[in-house]
Structure 1
């Protein structure tokens, strides 16, 4: 997970984006390095005033987020479509 986060970090702060959805459905394992990378992406998106949502969180990532209390820091949705709908609804003021 951590080797692929550099492009994600750059993508998360692109000026033309207002929100980013990270789909974790295909992430089979996550350790402290991966969790640290996610925290970095979260901090960068917050600093750039971008909305960050996670989708498909399961397995070790879900357990790590719950155990560390970080689940409260992230916007988490069951799947990408749900995340997109939530972002669109918030953007329309619904």
Structure 2
């Protein structure tokens, strides 16, 4: 299955819609796309993963790499639209602090921009 990533800029936030399975075959593309945004100067990313039916450990590794790179430049990343299995995975691996999940794109956008919003708990 192929992976599609589209990006929309809203103020200082890059909203990325990810569609497709994120696995060993597609993580190189996802990594290149997301880190390319960071390298281009983006500091705030909202990742809409509602179109991601599956995300394996390699995908989780890419998301954590994006988090670390953004943290190093005082930026942040948030997820929106995560399926229950991904929310559980982030919770049990204790990664939900680094990769918070929000109910709406607007809440996630506010959160990465420094405003408070309600997170989805697992």
TM-score (norm 1): 0.78
How many residue pairs end up in the alignment? Answer: 89
Q: Aligned Cα RMSD in Å? A: 1.9
SS in 1 for 2:47: strand
TM-score (norm 2): 0.62
Higher relative contact order (CA 8 A, sep 6+): 1
Aligned residue number for residue 44 of structure 1: 69
Aligned residue number for residue 110 of structure 2: 85
Match of 1:12 among 38, 62, 78: 38
5+ residue gaps in structure 1? Answer: none
5+ residue gaps in structure 2? Answer: 1-21, 116-122
1:27 equivalenced with 2:55 (yes/no): no
